Each structure stands twice: as structure tokens, then as C-alpha cells.
Amino acid sequence: MQSTSLGRLDVPRIGLGVMGMSAYYTGAGRDGAESIRTIRRAVDLGVTHLDTAEVYGPYVNEELLGRAIKGRRDEVVLATKFGLVSHTGRPGPDSTPASIHTAVDGSLRRLGTDRIDLYYQHRVDPNTPIEETVGALRDLVEAGKVLHIGLSEAAATTVRRAHAVHPVAAVQSEYSLWTRDPEAEVLPTLRELGIGLVPYAPLGHGFLTGDIRTLDGLDAADWRRSNPRFTGDNLTRNLRIVDQVREVADEVGATPAQVALAWLLAQGDGIAPIPGTKRIDRLEENSAADGIRLTPGQIARLNNLTPASGERHAEPDMAAVDQ
Ligand SMILES: NC(=O)c1ccc[n+]([C@@H]2O[C@H](COP(=O)([O-])OP(=O)(O)OC[C@H]3O[C@@H](n4cnc5c(N)ncnc54)[C@H](OP(=O)(O)O)[C@@H]3O)[C@@H](O)[C@H]2O)c1
């Protein structure tokens, strides 16, 4: 597995998002043993950039990850996030220094570690100036509890303000063949400032793999059932995108998931997607995308895919991004 840099943090080019092992998706949490085996296999394969958050579950996803890496802490890059759980009793997102100081100790305990490699603000808190939040994160770096800091779904201007207080290693935002939003402002700003981009949902929450053509296989509680891109006519229209990805995949001798990841890696250095899966076979498939090279012609075709129908999040979640 080749590596890349997020600021001064080296990570493998492909990581593993563990969120879906406990939250949001069909079957989440049903078989913790399979999830733990998948995480351990990831470490064996060099997929050592492991991404979770306090709010996944909440808490249980960090606990699961902590159990899985027991005895192997030094082999992995642990990334987690704060800010969507308030520890001060305030409603809504809470990135006040008081809440962060409580949050970090909980995450360290659940992950079974004395340091978090990459600690992200999960969403920008409109009621707390970013300078205050990053000042608290700088204190955590000085205390050795956190090694690098990140933001998630932050606007370019917020990234600049944060970076002026303490170097930001990475911004984690949704970026994939059907969500190109970061290309307009965020990605150029990150390049200018030497900050990495961690694309979340790089497989379009599973849609770009071609495995989801109807909602029939998803549980009643699956988050995607209420996502605009997975519902009604949008779902039918968006299947055209997957069919186009599959055409390229067939040419390359790869799977659509691998093409979706290889396209992200082809966007340049400092980009480290974190596809999520509970399954070892899919982990192996996704990590093998590191070795797939797309031709300029294939990249151009993928750049010109039919645009996605539907917003990438339902309201009010859309209101919380690009702040
Ligand atoms: N910062 C944020 O706000 C934010 C938001 C969302 C997610 N994230 C992070 O990003 C990570 C990844 O995002 P995500 O899980 O939402 O979406 P994703 O990685 O785009 O897709 C995950 C889905 O695809 C399926 N899948 C994975 N590999 C596959 C393959 N090769 N073939 C067929 N299906 C495959 C998974 O199912 P199985 O598990 O059944 O394989 C799961 O349903 C999360 O784990 C989380 O750490 C961050």
C-alpha cells in the first residue's frame, strides 16, 4: 500500500471507515465479530488509517475499534471526531472548549489509547468561533492527547481561519464521483495551505459499487432510505452513473468500487479516501484499488459522468455542511 501525507501525518492512500459497523447502514452492529476481523485484516494489509467518531452509535463504534486494535495500537493511525455530541448540556453541535475537553477523554478511553493521531471537529459549530475551538485543540496537542487536528465539511474560509491558529492536517469531506463539491473552493485552498483531503463516502455510501440498484435489500432503519439520492426518481436516474462507472471498470478489469477509489487517488497527492465496509472480501477489493491506474481518457470520461440527481444529504444536514 502506497502512502501519502495529510499535512505532516503519513497515511496509507486507502484507509477504512468503521462507521457502518455500528451505525446508519443495514445490518450495522449485527455481527461485531465480523467487523473486528475486518479491522484486523485491514491492519495486516497496511490499511492502517482507521476512521471513527464519538457520535457513531454514539460511542459504541469507538469501543468496537478500540477492541479491534488492542495490542496493535502502534501500527495504526487513529482518527476520530468530536462536536456532534454536547458535553455541556447545550442543544445542537458543541465545539466549545469545555465540551471538547470532556469529549477527548471519553474517546481516548473508548479507543484504549493515550493519544489520537487525527482529531477532527465533525461539523463547524455556528455558535463557537473556530479560533476558540482550534485553540482548545492546540491545548490538546500540547498535552500530547492529540497529534494532528482536522475539520470536517468546513468551508474554505473556515479552514483558513483554523489553520492560522494551529496547522490543520486534514479536512474530511464527502468527495466522490457523484459528489464533486470540494473541487470548487476547498480543494484549491487545501493545496495552497498544504492540508490533506480525506474523502468520506468515497463509494457514494455504497451506490457507486453497483450493488444497490433498489432499496429492497436495505433495512427499514437504513439511513439511505431517506437520502434524496437514493429515493424516488433520483435513484432510477442515478443508476445511469453506476452504469457508466461499470463500463470503465469492465475495460480496466476492475470493479466499480475500485474505479471509484482509483479516480479519487488520480486527483493527486494528499488525498486519502476511507471507504467503509464490514466485510473482509470488500476490504481486500477496496484496498487493491491502490494498484489500479486509469488512463487519461478514462479519467476524462469519469470527470464527465452524468451529474447526480438529488442533494447529497437531506435537510437539515445540508445546512450543516460548508460552514
Ligand atoms: N465526516 C463525516 O461527516 C462523515 C460522514 C459519513 C461517513 N464518514 C466516514 O467515511 C467512512 C466511509 O463512508 P460511508 O461508509 O458512509 O460510505 P462509503 O464508504 O462510500 O460506502 C460504504 C457502503 O458501501 C458498501 N461497500 C463497501 N465496499 C464495497 C464493495 N467493494 N462492494 C460493494 N459494496 C461495498 C458498504 O457495505 P458493507 O459494510 O456491507 O460492505 C457500505 O454500505 C465512514 O465509515 C466514516 O468513517 C464521515
Does the Cβ of 172 fall within 6 Å of ligand 1? yes
pLDDT of amino acid 321: 84
Question: What CA–CA distances, in Å, run from 190 to 15, 148, 257?
Answer: 20, 15, 26
Contact 258, 249 (CB under 8 A): yes
Question: What CA–CA distances, in Å, run from 127 to 83, 92, 314?
Answer: 12, 10, 22
Does the Cβ of 25 fall within 6 Å of ligand 1? yes
Atom 10 (ligand 1) nearest CA = 200
CA angle 121, 261, 286 (to 5 degrees): 95
How many angstroms does the Cα of residue 202 sit away from the middle of ligand 1?
Answer: 7
Active site residue 119: no
pLDDT of amino acid 36: 97
Atom 45 (ligand 1) nearest CA = 17
CATH of 3-204+267-292, one of 3.20.20.100, 3.30.70.1350, 1.20.1580.10, 3.20.20.70: 3.20.20.100
Query: What are the extents of the domains in the chain?
Result: 3-204+267-292
DSSP 3-state of 68: helix
Question: What CA–CA distances, in Å, run from 71 to 33, 68, 147, 219?
Answer: 17, 9, 20, 34
Pairing outcome for strands 3-6 and 9-12: antiparallel
pLDDT of amino acid 114: 98
Contact 49, 42 (CB under 8 A): no
pLDDT of amino acid 8: 98
How many angstroms does the Cα of residue 173 sit away from the middle of ligand 1?
Answer: 13
Active-site residue, selected from the candidate residues 56, 119, 120, 200? 56
Q: Which residues contact 11 (CB under 8 A, 6 or more apart)?
A: 3, 4, 5, 48, 49, 77, 196, 272
DSSP character string of 268-286: -TTB----B-S-HHHHHHH
Would you state the torsion angle of the CA atoms of residues 41, 67, 206, 309, taken in this order, to the nearest 10 degrees?
A: -140
How many angstroms does the Cα of residue 247 sit away from the middle of ligand 1?
Answer: 22
Does the Cβ of 34 fall within 6 Å of ligand 1? no
pLDDT of amino acid 134: 98
Mean pLDDT, 10 residues at a time, over the chain (323 residues)? 98 97 77 92 98 96 97 98 96 96 98 98 97 98 98 98 98 97 97 98 97 91 92 94 98 98 97 97 98 98 92 82 84
* End-to-end Cα, the chain, rounded Å: 34
What is the model's pTM?
A: 0.97
Does the Cβ of 28 fall within 6 Å of ligand 1? no
How many angstroms does the Cα of residue 135 sit away from the middle of ligand 1?
Answer: 31
